[in-house]
Amino acid sequence: MATVRLNVNGQNRVVEDVDAQTPLLWVLRDSLGLVGTKYGCGVAQCGACTVHMNGNPVRSCQIPAAAASGAAITTVEGLAKADGTLHVVQQAWMEHDVPQCGYCQAGQMMSASALLAQNPKPTDADIDAAMAGNLCRCGTYHRIRKAIHSAAAKLQKA
Amino acid sequence: MNTVTEARLAAERHVLEILSAAEAQVPASAATFSRRSFLKLTGLAGGGLVLAFWMGDEATAVAAEAAGGAKSFAPNAFLQIAADGTITILSKGPEIGQGIKTAFPMIIAEELDADWSKVKIEQAPINPKVFGRQSAGGSRSIPTSWDQLRQAGAVGRAMLVSAAAAEWKVPATELSTEKSFVIHKASGRKLAYGALASKAAALPVPDAKTVALKDRKDYRIIGTSIAGVDNRKVVTGAPLFGIDQTLPGMLYAVYEKCPATGGKVKEANLDQILKLPGVKQAFIVEGNGRTTEVMPGVAILATTTWGAFNAKRQLRVVWDETNAATDSSNEILEKAQELAKLPQGPGVVRADGDVDKALASATKKVEAFYSYPFVSHSPLEPMNTTAWVKGDTVELWSPTQTPDPALGLIANTLGIPVDNVKINQTRVGGGFGRRLMNDYACEAAQISKQAGGIPVKLQWTREDDMTHDFYRPAGYHAFKGAVDGYGKLTAWANHFITFTVDGKVPANSSNYPADEFPAMLVPNYRVTQSLLQLGTPTGPWRAPRSNGIAFAVQSFLHELSVAAGRDHLEFLIDVMGEPRWLEPRTEFALNTERAIAVIKLAAEKAGWGRKLPEGRGMGLAFHFSHAGHFAEVAEVSVDRAKRLTVHQVTVAGDIGPIINMSGSLAQCEGAVIDGLSTMLGLEITIEAGRVQQLNYDRYPILRQGMHIPKIESHFIQSAYPPTGIGEPSLPPVAPAICNAIFAASGQRVRTLPLVKSGYTLA
């Protein structure tokens, strides 16, 4: 058992008495109570557990917590500003009424926000490449695509 | 009969009960309520109006009132208007992604003429004695609640108007309402609902039947697009789902069952498991042998989910498989192909006219064998439930589609009175029919009990979820059909090969409905069935039965139109015949006029008949299920290497008035994606009773970037009472696409999934 130091959503967090191999997903959910990041498959097939590690989208079910030490981790809970202003992606998700069951959407938005941070005006092909790792069992793919385009348009204006 | 089989049969009966309840054909017009039981009025602390309306059955309401007196009579599904104008509406059903938590309150708010921006929605507690049906299934939420919810809103509005009329001393007929205000146009006065609420609460409750309901042309909320009421919580990652629940002192549990249904634990390396980091308890659970409650297995409780998952991987169990399933999908297919050679099966589902005579005298005959595989539900949130047994009571937090029947199952599992079971409904990370079953909730309760009454969150792994499902049964159809010299459909024989547990009746969701299309539309029509023994559990999957039957039936109908040398659109309309309701002549039956209208609309919107380039084609399919009339046209391209592009799917449906346009379009979009995903590459195979697909790597659900087709949906908002949309837009997807593949390439698809015949997405 080990002590893992993480930086999550801009805060330094110390997790004690944890198996250092525990995937980041479960440390976030069980130790830090950040349950917005979801478990779907445990084998990096569904993308429900997507978080940002130094700005890059990663599947937190595959990252041992110890390996995340020292990196800046952002989860869906850290996507909005501290004053509650939603991220442009979250706003677009609401405007386009994207969620059905909603379970995959945290992962979808983390992939989408990472895409827009690196590519503020993605083409459909860019969206395909960036979002292919995120399954939506309800089939909200059209609205996800529309929401990403409209979030990108908002970023252009801003 | 041994005890295992008896328990298994009890489970089978239970699924049937749930399905019958979920799909009960109660027309809205039959749902009448006495004034006495319909509305109760109580004051609200701090001033305001509370309207409680009865949604359970009337007899229970009256009995409850007689037993407890009016004072202790608990208000149930209610509508509350506070002095500050806030309107609170309880939504009684589970939100599984179908949008009911938004649609239900829209109906009440419409008749109340409420300002939607001031409406707050809360999940109702689970108490079927008070609320009646609280399940989400069968696309039945809207049709079974339409009148109740409208009347509730209308009664509230009438009382607010009466209060304003008294205040202003003007006749109520001179008043109108808009956005939570009562308005007296003649004098230019207006009063907010909040200001009138306390005065309205002092008035007698009018008889719901005497209160006029709005004319559709006056709707301001119904039919508009309103985004999901919990969307902000969803996009900010709030703890909404079953998997997000925690309790102080809770342990994280996993449960290992025999990979072949029905196996018992002979021995397990529990001593070794107990030494692993974080593991607090590990024990064998005997179970009661019911697949719908608790099957035998090993529970491991740890301080974290990962600790429990990790221990589960190191768990070694020796199973006693004496009574376990031994199914093999390969053997099943061989047996089905053998049985298909028989002209008919021993069970008669329906027989009209004289099929054999019509076949013998036919101008053209077509024979074909269709098959589709077992599929899993695979909702993205794996099964889970948090449970806390305290003495002879239990409280649960569960993402279930059927919290009401779950109460009895959990009571039976624990051997406690049903009144001692409390379920808290969480948001549900996908249902698709899987969570009509409550096995995971029963397991959680049993594990909490055996652990000594500590709170536990039982978390299934994805592998547990995929290998312990109630699968959409595979199906096999041996068809014979005929057309006469005029190209008219004269005979239809379908030998349906399906599954049984008891050797007598079809297994759950393996039955063939006697009124399934084209029953009653062909003069000589026969469906018979043969039953294959199956040990693996089956169950309802989005649009149960129709999801597979439609592929076979609507593809075969196209084959007959081709044989007749007739255009599919024209042939299909001809099959419908004169405008009429088919039996049982309620809104839950096919109406040929509605059917023809959606078929024509889909064809028109898709540009049916227009010239397409080589290798490109259009396919049409209609299906009626779950009270919805839907026709769809697919436009596809197929090249010589069987690379498929689905360019567009045009959906036309009639489910009466649309409640929430955004939600309804979303359900159509989801159904097309689900239908395409499933027909393309999804298949569960079983060997030695063991499901072979363990995770999404071998169960390739459609992804972004896999040529998701354009989807256009159109509704005929007929004047019939509204019905549900979660299911009926799914069944036509597969046959429309397969008929389009034929149009594009001349290749007939008779087996799903498409990858089995060499198709891939371009």
Q: How confident is the model at residue B67 (pLDDT cuts 50, 70, 90)?
A: very low
pLDDT in tens, B406-426: 999 999 999 999 999 999 999
Q: Point out which residues pair with B633 in neighbouring strands.
A: B620, B650
- Residue B749's pLDDT is what? 98
Compare CB distances from A30 to B237, B305, B667 and report the shortest one's residue: B305
Answer whether residue B556 shows pLDDT above 50.
Answer: yes
CB-based burial of residue B267 (10 Å sphere; 0-12 exposed, 13-18 middle, 19+ buried)?
A: exposed
Residue A67 domain flag: yes
Residue A83 domain flag: no
Q: For A75, which residue in chain B has the nearest alpha carbon?
A: B237
B189, B183 Cβ separation under 8 angstroms? yes
Q: For A129, which residue in chain B has the nearest alpha carbon?
A: B705
Answer whether residue B252 shows pLDDT above 60.
Answer: yes
Q: B670, B246, B429, B133: which is closest to A104 by C-alpha?
A: B429
**Beta carbons within 8 Å of B437's beta carbon, 6+ residues apart:** B15, B18, B292, B402, B470, B539
Q: What percent of chain B lies above the pLDDT cut of 90? A: 80
Alpha-carbon span A23 to B305, nearest angstrom: 10
**Beta carbons within 8 Å of B706's beta carbon, 6+ residues apart:** A132, B761
Q: How confident is the model at residue B28 (pLDDT cuts 50, 70, 90)?
A: very low
- Residue B51's pLDDT is what? 63
Answer whether residue B624 shows pLDDT above 80.
Answer: yes
Q: How confident is the model at residue B277 (pLDDT cuts 50, 70, 90)?
A: very high
B674–A139 CB contact, under 8 Å? yes
Q: B25 or B350: whose pLDDT is higher?
A: B350
- Residue B457's pLDDT is what? 98
Q: What percent of chain B lies above the pLDDT cut of 70? A: 92
Domain boundaries along the sequence of chain B? 31-235, 242-324+383-459, 329-375+471-761
Judged by a CB distance cut-off of 8 A, whether residue B760 touches chain A is no
Tell me the chain B residues in contact with residue A127 when contact means C-beta distances shorter than 8 Å.
704-705
Alpha-carbon span B761 to B676, nearest angstrom: 11
Q: Same structural domain for residues A14 and A73? A: yes
Tell me the chain B residues in contact with residue A112 when contact means C-beta distances shorter than 8 Å.
none
Domain hosting A127: range is 88-157
What mean pLDDT comes out for the span B455-467? 98
Measured from the Cβ of residue B683, the count of other Cβ atoms closer than 10 Å reads 21
Q: Same structural domain for residues A71 and A92? A: no
Answer whether residue B290 shows pLDDT above 50.
Answer: yes
Q: For A94, which residue in chain B has the nearest alpha carbon?
A: B231
Task: Tell me the helix, strand and coil percentages in chain A, rounded to 5.
Answer: 40, 20, 45
- Residue A39's pLDDT is what? 98
Task: Please give the CATH topology (third level) of the domain spanning B329-375+471-761.
Answer: Aldehyde Oxidoreductase; domain 4 (3.30.365)
What mean pLDDT comes out for the span B24-53? 51
- Residue B59's pLDDT is what? 40
Q: Same structural domain for residues A73 and A114? A: no
Alpha-carbon span B507 to B535, nearest angstrom: 10
Q: Quote the tokens at residue B218.
A: 């006056």
Helices B733-745 and B546-564 pack at an angle, to 10 degrees, of 30
Answer whether residue B363 shows pLDDT above 80.
Answer: yes
| Single-letter amino acid code for the residue at B554 | Q
What mean pLDDT comes out for the span B432-445? 98
- Residue B1's pLDDT is what? 41
Alpha-carbon span B455 to B746, nearest angstrom: 60
What mean pLDDT comes out for the span B290-296? 97
Helices first, then strands: H and E counts in chain A:
5, 5
Taking CA atoms, A55 is separated from A10, A45, A73, A114, B455, in Å, by: 12, 20, 8, 6, 37
Whether the link from the prior residue into B248 is cis, omega within 30° of 0, is no
State whether residue B476 is helix, strand or coil: strand
- Residue B3's pLDDT is what? 53
- Residue B628's pLDDT is what? 97
| Single-letter amino acid code for the residue at B206 | P
Q: Give the range among B50-59, B155-164, B368-377 with minimum mean pLDDT.
A: B50-59
CA of A34 vs chain B CAs: smallest distance (Å): 8
Answer whether residue B715 shows pLDDT above 60.
Answer: yes
CA of B729 vs chain A CAs: smallest distance (Å): 13
Q: For A78, which residue in chain B has the nearest alpha carbon?
A: B236
Q: Same structural domain for residues A40 and A21? A: yes
Taking CA atoms, B183 is separated from A103, B186, B222, in Å, by: 43, 9, 21
B236, B292 Cβ separation under 8 angstroms? no
Alpha-carbon span B133 to B92, nearest angstrom: 8
- Residue B134's pLDDT is what? 87
pLDDT in tens, B377-391: 999 999 999 999 999
B379, A101 Cβ separation under 8 angstroms? yes
Q: What stretch of H or E contains B65?
A: helix B58-72
Alpha-carbon span B141 to B97, nearest angstrom: 13
- Residue B642's pLDDT is what? 97
Entry field: residues in chain A: 158
Tell me the chain A residues in contact with residue B670 when contact means C-beta distances shorter than 8 Å.
100, 138-140
Alpha-carbon span B231 to A86, nearest angstrom: 12
Sign of CA dihedral B565, B566, B568, B571: negative
The DSSP line for A75-131 is -GGGTS-TTSPPPHHHHHHHHTT--SS-TTHHHHHHHHHHHHHH-SS--HHHHHHHH
pLDDT in tens, B188-233: 999 999 999 888 877 877 877 888 999 999 999 999 999 999 999 9
Answer whether residue B155 shows pLDDT above 70.
Answer: yes
**Beta carbons within 8 Å of B27's beta carbon, 6+ residues apart:** B143, B586, B587, B588, B721
Q: How confident is the model at residue B586 (pLDDT cuts 50, 70, 90)?
A: confident
B161, B175 Cβ separation under 8 angstroms? yes
What's the farthest any 2 CA atoms get from each other in chain B? 84
Answer whether residue B7 shows pLDDT above 90.
Answer: no
Half-sphere exposure of B624 (CA within 13 A, CB side): 26
Count up the domains in chain A and report the number.
2
B235–A105 CB contact, under 8 Å? yes
ipTM of model: 0.98
- Residue B73's pLDDT is what? 26
State whether residue B614 is helix, strand or coil: coil
What mean pLDDT comes out for the span B469-487? 97
Q: Which residue, of A78, A112, A145, is where some domain finishes?
A: A78
Q: Which residue, of A50, A78, A106, is where some domain finishes?
A: A78
What mean pLDDT comes out for the span B702-726? 95
Q: Same structural domain for residues A11 and A54? A: yes
pLDDT in tens, B166-195: 999 999 999 999 999 999 999 999 999 999
Q: What stretch of H or E contains B20?
A: helix B3-22
What mean pLDDT comes out for the span B334-360? 97
Q: How confident is the model at residue B60 (pLDDT cuts 50, 70, 90)?
A: very low
Strands B524-533 and B489-500: parallel
Q: Same structural domain for residues A6 and A73? A: yes
What one-character DSSP code corresponds to residue B753?
Answer: S
CA of B237 vs chain A CAs: smallest distance (Å): 4
**Beta carbons within 8 Å of B13's beta carbon, 6+ residues apart:** none
| Single-letter amino acid code for the residue at B78 | F
Whether the link from the prior residue into B518 is cis, omega within 30° of 0, is yes
Interface of B with A in 691-710 (CB under 8 A): 695-697, 701-706, 708
Compare CB distances from B428 to A29, A48, A101 and report the shortest one's residue: A101
Compare CB distances from A97 to B252, B662, B701 and report the shortest one's residue: B662
Burial B616-653 (b: 16+ CB within 10 A, else e): bbbbbbbbbbbbbbbbbbbbbbbeeebebbbebbbbbb
Tell me the chain A residues in contact with residue B459 when contact means C-beta distances shorter than 8 Å.
39
Tell me the chain A residues in contact with residue B239 when contact means C-beta distances shorter than 8 Å.
35-36
Q: Point out which residues pair with B687 in neighbouring strands.
A: B690
B666–A128 CB contact, under 8 Å? no
Q: Quote the tokens at residue B581.
A: 């309701």
CATH class assigned to B31-235: alpha beta
Q: Same structural domain for residues A128 and A70? A: no
**Beta carbons within 8 Å of B237's beta carbon, 6+ residues apart:** A34, A35, A36, A37, A75, A76, A77, A79, A106
- Is B31-235's fold the same as B242-324+383-459's? yes
State whether residue B389 is helix, strand or coil: strand
Taking CA atoms, B373 is separated from A99, B326, B503, in Å, by: 29, 17, 21
Residue A50 domain flag: yes
Return the CATH number at A151.
Answer: 1.10.150.120
What mean pLDDT comes out for the span A87-102? 98
- Residue B201's pLDDT is what? 77
Task: Please give the CATH topology (third level) of the domain spanning B242-324+383-459.
Answer: Aldehyde Oxidoreductase; domain 4 (3.30.365)
Compare CB distances from B306 to A19, A40, A45 and report the shortest one's residue: A19
Task: Tell me the helix, strand and coil percentages in chain B, rounded to 5.
Answer: 35, 25, 40
What one-character DSSP code corresponds to residue A30?
Answer: I
Strands lying side by side in the sheet with B279-285: B279-285, B297-302, B251-257, B456-459, B384-390, B393-398, B421-425
The DSSP line for B87-143 is EEEEE-S--SSS-HHHHHHHHHHHHHT--GGGEEEEEPP--HHHH------TT-HHH
B243–A35 CB contact, under 8 Å? yes
Query: Mean pLDDT, chain B, as a whole number?
Result: 91
Q: Which residue, of A51, A78, A105, is where some domain finishes?
A: A78
Q: Quote the tokens at residue B493.
A: 């024989």
Q: For B698, which residue in chain A has the nearest alpha carbon?
A: A45
Return the CATH number at A52.
Answer: 3.10.20.30
- Residue B74's pLDDT is what? 29
Query: Mean pLDDT, chain A, as a whole number?
Result: 97
State the best of B98, B226, B235, B669 to mutate against chain A, taking most chain A CBs within 10 Å. B235
CA angle A120, A124, A129 (to 5 degrees): 85
B304–A30 CB contact, under 8 Å? yes
Judged by a CB distance cut-off of 8 A, whether residue B314 touches chain A is no
Q: Same structural domain for residues A96 and A138? A: yes
**Beta carbons within 8 Å of B74's beta carbon, 6+ residues apart:** B64, B130
State the best of B96, B101, B234 to mutate against chain A, taking most chain A CBs within 10 Å. B234
H runs (alpha helix) in B498-620: 546-564, 568-576, 592-606
State whether residue B81 is helix, strand or coil: strand
B427–A43 CB contact, under 8 Å? no
Q: Same structural domain for residues A46 and A100? A: no
State the best of A18, A19, A137 to mutate against chain B, taking most chain B CBs within 10 Å. A137
Alpha-carbon span B455 to B8, nearest angstrom: 29
